Every structure is written in C-alpha cells, then in structure tokens.
C-alpha cells in the first residue's frame, strides 16, 4: 500500500526571501533550497513558515518556475497550494503538478470558522475533480491553531474512501500526540503517510510507522534532523531527539519565522534574508543579538551555507 | 471633521451569486444590487457574507467591473479588499479606487494569529503607501470571531494619527457593545465613522453618534433597516429595532450565508441564487422549507425583488 515513489523523510517549509527585485528573491530561494537538498532535506515550499499565504498566486508560481528552471527536482518538492479561494487552490495545484512535484500540501479553506466536514470534503473534492490529473498527490495540512479549521479523522476517512491514491498523507501540526497517534494507527497502514508537523514528535512518529517530519527548523538544522531520519533505530536516537528539541527551544524563544530568517542571514552572510512580509515583523536588534548569542553558546553552525 | 462625501447609512455585504457562466453570475449580482439601491441600501460588496475570500482576485475585479458597466454608482459601493497577501490587497484596492468607490472595507491579513499591532500597522501602511491615491478611504474591518485578528483601539489610534483622512472608519462586527461604544466615544468625534457590524446595535450606534450599519440581513430586509436609519429619532424607533432583531433571529436559526441565498432565491423566483462556494454548504431541503415557513409565518416578503 506504500508505493515506492511516495515522499518520505524530512521536509522543510522553506523560508521565502523577500527582495525588491523578484529575480533576486528567487535566486536567494534557489540558494537556500540547494543547501537543504545537500543535507537531504526535501522542500515543502510555500508552507506556513514560508509566509505562503502572504504571497500572491502569481508570486508563488513565479518562484516555483524559478526553482524548476534552476534544476531543483520536482519529486523533491511538496509545495503548499491551499488557499481560501478554491479557484486559487486549483490554479496553484495544477501548476505544481505540471512541474512534477512529489505532492502538494493543502490547507483547508481557512477564512470561515465552524465549517462542516461536508463543506471541507466538498472543498478538497472540488480541487481534485477540477485538477483531474492522475499524478496529483495531496497531503492534508492539519494546523488548527493557525487555521482554526481542523481536519478531523472522520474527514480523512471520507476523503481516503473517495480518493484513494490521491489523498496521500498529512502533516499533523496539531501538537497533539493523541491525534498523530490515532492517524498513524488508523490510516498509515492504508498507505496514508503521516508526517510529524515538527521535530517534537519526530522519533515517536517514526517508531509508530510514520513517514517523516516537516519542520520549520529544517531551514536551519537540516543535517541533524535528516540524520535522525536515517538512524532512528540507532542506539543514540533518543539523544539525537533531545538535541533537536534543545535547538528548537532556542528558536521558540523568538517569533519563529523572523528568527529562522535572522539565523539564515547571519550564517549565510547575506543580511537580505531577514526581510519578512507584514503582518510579520523582523527581529529587532536586541532580539537578533540574543538569538545569535544563544546559538553561538550552543556552538551551532550551518555548515556549507 | 465629517466631510459630506463620507459614506453613511445602511450597507449590505451583498451575497455573491455563483453560476457556471461568469456573465450570468455578474448579471445576478447586478440585479440584486439594483434592488438594494432602490431600498436605499449601499453595497458593501465582497464582505464576509459575500464569500469574498472564496473568490479569486480576478473574480472580484471582474464583478466590480460588471457593476460599474451596469451603471452602479461607485460612491454607493464599499468593496472588501483585505486579503492575506498584501499584494492582493493592493491590487484590489487600486482597482476599487479607480472605480471611484466611496471607500474600501479592509480586513487585516488573517492567516497568522497572535500578530503584533506593529505588524498590523505595517500591513495597512504598506497598502496605503503603495496605492498612494488621495481618493483612498479605508474602513477597517474588525471581525475577530472570524479573522481571530482583532483591530485594537491602540492600532486605530496609530493609524488615525499616521493617515488622517485615509483611515475613514470601521465596521465593528465584534458583537461587543463595550468595544463599539469605546470607538464611538474616542474616534467618531474625530471623523472616524463607526458602523455597527449588524443591526443588533444599530439604534444604539445611531444614538451614540455613529454612521450607520453594515449588515448581512440588509440583503433580505433592506427597506425596514434603511427606514430605521432615516427615522432613528422617531417615537417608534425601539419598536422598529425590535422588529429587525426578530427577523434576524429567524435567519440566525440557520447558517447565515446559505439562508440569505435561499431567501433571495425563493422571493426572486430564481433558484440559481442558492448556490454557495465550498467550504459553505447550501441549506438542505428540510432547512430550506423550515426557513421559508418561518418567514411566511412572519408575513415576510421582499417587495420589488
């Protein structure tokens, strides 16, 4: 039930550089993506930590085109394509599939709250029917503290039944192990790949048969996270997990997306990476200094960046 | 401080018809807008009850073009233009201003939660600076139970100070009279027009010096709501308010947007109006029958539709 061409392992919701010149922003994105691929981390471009919903549809398509033109392999990408407007989700999904991506990570429409499972089922069904491409693989994106629109187990059951093969898995960013565990038990044996939504439950997810993790800190700590994926059955796996947790805790002392961008800017030597899009705000000088000091105290580095 | 060309009175977040043929959907929207204007209700097209965020940027611009081509006067319109991506908000706002609208109703970017006032200030500032048009009038849209991104009094203070004349008012859909009242006291005397976010606090808002209301039920009950605006100082104003509340309560027994569309479909004789966009779901047959029966029991009608 688990086809060999399915996405597995560690993915990063890649930070999206911002620059006045779109070509420069694209070049900075390509550079960061190449570094992640060198560490064996796949590209969940246009995720939450990518500020994807702060980008227009045209901006997202331009950046994906730029990645493809730079030779980034489609099968190593899992772009986010879920928008409030299904028209936009359809356009982005068609475009991503045409680039041969390994799958798309799809938020539910997230403007209205308290919507029914019938309405969410109809949303995903409409995108699937309109894209109408046998190559389409959808990873559901469950991140209720942001969307306020949860993807229930009952909804997954309905979608899997209606669209087997197309509904390929989930990123569970609920932070609720009971939920992740339930999905691993009920759906993973049926070829529905469960990805931990951060490294917090990464080892637990692997031990329960999951497919990997998709994590913000993959942007800055890809090597060690990818190593745990390769060696999760090794004797030092718990120690590796503890080290990942400690680094994550350092970043969690700051607003995550600006902190990731500040770290990439510092260790790459390109200060342009710090720019964010409103309503996010970059770290102030004091926060930036505190972050870098905390990382240096841990002897943290980003080798090869 | 209250220029005479400012928007005042009753506005309706106009339902947006859905049809396979975009020209048909536009014609149905034009028809409904003309009926609302005949009842002296202005057009807050592309609001929450318009399923605006379920429409692409291109769809919204096409529909606004169609309204203008049909002769709907720009000064009677207050289109919603706030999106998650500021690029989209800028494009929609420029387009609306070019059509000579009376103002735009602008959601804050609503994907990220827990964002700072600094970030929200930067969001509105970026749109204002990029649109850079002296005709721009922004009505802030405070609807925290949907966006989960509240617009604080402190943020309004900063925006009013930085962009006097451009920051023109607010739609307060918090349902919290203490909040509406605070805005009426602090900001209305400075030319910042406070609109009640539904008819629930309409009379209270008028008595406290407010500018009007923008309400979902304006789609179905425009005449009586507009009458209260004209006669809020009359002896029967409380009785009028009570009648508006009772009709609203009938609609609130159902999901609001599908119920509004079902009522328009029934009373216009055009069943096409019932169509909604996922994740919303149209009323089922039982709900539809119950709604129409409840309306008929109230001897409700939509004269002239």
Q: Specify the higher pLDDT residue, B16 or A1.
A: B16
Asked if A123 lies within 8 A of B84 by C-beta distance, the reply is no
Q: Does B84 touch chain A (CB under 8 A)?
A: yes
pLDDT band at A304 (very low <50, low <70, confident <90, very high): very high
Q: What is the pLDDT of residues B69-125, one digit of tens each?
A: 999 999 999 999 999 999 999 999 999 999 999 999 999 999 999 999 999 999 999
CA proximity to A115, closest of B281, B61, B132, B250: B281
Overall average pLDDT of the A116-133 stretch: 98
Q: What is the pLDDT of residue B5?
A: 75
HSE toward the beta carbon, residue B258, CA cutoff 13 A: 19
Asked if B56 lies within 8 A of A85 by C-beta distance, the reply is yes
For the stretch A75-111, what's the b/e string if a residue is b when 16 or more beta carbons lie within 10 angstroms of its beta carbon?
Answer: ebbbbbbbbbbbbbbbbbbbbbbebebbbbbbbbbbb
pLDDT at A275 over 70: yes
pLDDT band at A214 (very low <50, low <70, confident <90, very high): very high
Overall average pLDDT of the B21-33 stretch: 97
When divided into structural domains, chain A yields a total of 1
Q: What is the pLDDT of residue B302?
A: 96
HSE toward the beta carbon, residue A8, CA cutoff 13 A: 15
Within-domain flag for A263: no
- Residue B37 CA: distances (Å) to CA of A162, B76, B110, B210: 45, 8, 31, 21
CA B98 to chain centre: 20
Q: What is the pLDDT of residue B285?
A: 98
Query: What distance, in Å, lies between the first and last C-alpha atoms of chain A?
Result: 38
Are the beta carbons of A87 and A122 closer than 8 angstroms?
Answer: no
Q: What is the pLDDT of residue A4?
A: 63
CATH number at residue A159: 3.20.20.70
Q: What is the pLDDT of residues A38-78, one digit of tens each?
A: 999 999 999 999 999 999 999 999 999 999 999 999 999 99
Q: Does B129 touch chain A (CB under 8 A)?
A: no
Q: What is the pLDDT of residue B1?
A: 42
Within-domain flag for A216: yes
Within-domain flag for B304: no
Overall average pLDDT of the B23-42 stretch: 98
Rounded Cα distance, B216 and B48, in Å: 9
Q: Does A112 touch chain B (CB under 8 A)?
A: yes
If DSSP states are collapsed to H, E and C, what string results for A63-86?
HHHHHHHCCCCHHHECCECCCCCH
Rounded Cα distance, A41 and B305, in Å: 59
CB pairs under 8 A between A and B: 102
If DSSP states are collapsed to H, E and C, what string results for A168-226?
EEEEECCCCHHHHHHHHHHCHHHCCEEEECCHHHHHHHHHCCCCEEECHHHHCCHHHHH
Q: What is the pLDDT of residue A5?
A: 75
Within-domain flag for B58: yes
The domain of B269 spans: 9-297
Q: What is the pLDDT of residues B149-160, one digit of tens each?
A: 999 999 999 999
Q: Does B54 touch chain A (CB under 8 A)?
A: yes
Within-domain flag for A190: yes
By C-alpha distance, the chain A residue nearest B90 is A56
Per-chain mean pLDDT for chain A: 97
Nearest to A113 among B57, B108, B146 (CB): B146
Asked if A146 lies within 8 A of B112 by C-beta distance, the reply is yes
Strand order in the sheet with B167-172: B42-43, B9-12, B212-214, B193-196, B167-172, B138-142, B104-106
CA dihedral B47, B52, B124, B191 (to 10 degrees): -20
- β-partners of residue B229 are none
Asked if B53 lies within 8 A of A84 by C-beta distance, the reply is yes
Within-domain flag for B30: yes
pLDDT at A224 over 60: yes
- Which residues does B24 contact at the CB level (< 8 Å), separation at least 6? B17, B272
Q: How many CB atoms lie within 10 A of CB B293?
A: 10
CA angle, B113 then B181 then B252, to 5°? 65
Residues 264-293 of A with CB under 8 A from B: 277-281
Nearest to B86 among A113, A123, A277 (CB): A277
How far off is chain A from B139, nearest CA to CA, in Å? 18
CA B123 to chain centre: 21
Q: What is the pLDDT of residues A14-43, one digit of tens each?
A: 999 999 999 999 999 999 999 999 999 999
Report CA Rg, chain A: 18
pLDDT at B235 over 70: yes
CA proximity to A237, closest of A215, A211, A204, A210: A204
Rounded Cα distance, A71 and B5, in Å: 56
Count the helices and strands in chain A (H runs, E runs). Answer: 12, 7
Asked if A279 lies within 8 A of B122 by C-beta distance, the reply is yes
Asked if A54 lies within 8 A of B146 by C-beta distance, the reply is no
pLDDT at A1 over 50: no
How far off is chain B from A18, nearest CA to CA, in Å? 13
Q: What is the DSSP string of A30-43?
A: HHHHHHHHHTT-EE
Within-domain flag for B211: yes
Q: What is the pLDDT of residues A77-124, one digit of tens each?
A: 999 999 999 999 999 999 999 999 999 999 999 999 999 999 999 999
Q: What is the pLDDT of residue A253?
A: 98
Which chain A residues are Cβ-neighbours of B143 within 8 angstroms?
none
Interface test with A, best of B111, B128, B150 (most A CBs within 10 A): B111
The residue behind tokens 């919903």 is A53
């Amino acid at each position: 039930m688990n086809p060999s061409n399915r996405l597995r392992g560690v993915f990063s919701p890649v930070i999206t550089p911002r620059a006045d010149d779109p070509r420069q922003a694209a070049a900075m994105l390509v550079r960061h993506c190449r570094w992640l691929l060198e560490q064996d981390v796949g590209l969940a471009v246009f995720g939450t930590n990518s500020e994807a919903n702060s980008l227009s549809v045209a901006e997202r398509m331009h950046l994906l085109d730029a990645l493809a033109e730079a030779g980034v392999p489609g099968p190593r990408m899992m772009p986010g394509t879920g928008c409030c407007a299904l028209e936009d989700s359809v356009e982005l999904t068609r475009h991503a599939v045409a680039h041969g991506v390994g799958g798309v990570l799809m938020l539910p429409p997230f403007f209205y709250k308290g919507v029914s499972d019938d309405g969410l089922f109809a949303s995903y069904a409409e995108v699937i029917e309109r894209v109408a491409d046998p190559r389409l693989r959808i990873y559901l994106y469950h991140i209720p503290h942001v969307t306020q629109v949860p993807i229930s187990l009952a909804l997954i059951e309905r979608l899997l039944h209606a669209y087997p093969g197309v509904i390929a898995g989930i990123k569970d960013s609920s932070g609720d192990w009971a939920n992740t565990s339930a999905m691993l038990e009920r759906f993973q044996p049926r070829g529905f790949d469960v990805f931990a939504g951060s490294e917090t439950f990464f080892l637990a997810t692997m031990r329960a048969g999951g497919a990997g993790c998709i994590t913000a800190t993959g942007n800055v700590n890809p090597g060690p996270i990818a190593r745990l994926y390769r060696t999760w059955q090794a004797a030092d796996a718990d120690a590796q997990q503890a080290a990942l947790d400690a680094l994550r805790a350092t970043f969690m002392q700051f607003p995550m997306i600006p902190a990731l961008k500040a770290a990439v800017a510092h260790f790459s030597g390109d200060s342009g990476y710090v720019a964010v899009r409103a309503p996010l705000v970059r770290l102030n000088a004091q926060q930036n200094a505190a972050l870098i000091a905390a990382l240096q105290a841990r002897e943290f580095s980003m080798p090869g960046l």
